[in-house]
Amino acid sequence: MFFRCMGNLARPCFQGNGLGLYFLHTLVEFILEISPNQPIILSIFEQNKVASQLYLKFGFSFTEKFD
């Protein structure tokens, strides 16, 4: 299920179901497992306030904007 969700940007199984933090936790665990010493860089659209709040709640901080 995780990979199916990743392939569809997590929309079918997570969006609107209150599982955003669960998705982020699973994603971060997966990334740390395959590449534990690399920094994690996530990109979101500035207009996506829900995702922004979830990332902040999970402990991410926003440091740069990319065009």
- What are the extents of the domains in the chain? 2-58
| Residue 46, token pair as written in the block | 């500035």
| Residue 42, token pair as written in the block | 């996530």
The predicted structure's pLDDT at residue 32: 79
The b-or-e profile of 16-55 (16+ CB within 10 A means b, else e) is eeeebeebbebbeeeeeeeeeeeeeeeeeeeeeeeeeebb
In a structure prediction context, what are the per-residue pLDDT tens digits for the chain, which is 67 residues long? 333 334 444 444 555 656 666 777 787 788 778 887 877 676 666 677 777 777 777 777 776 665 5
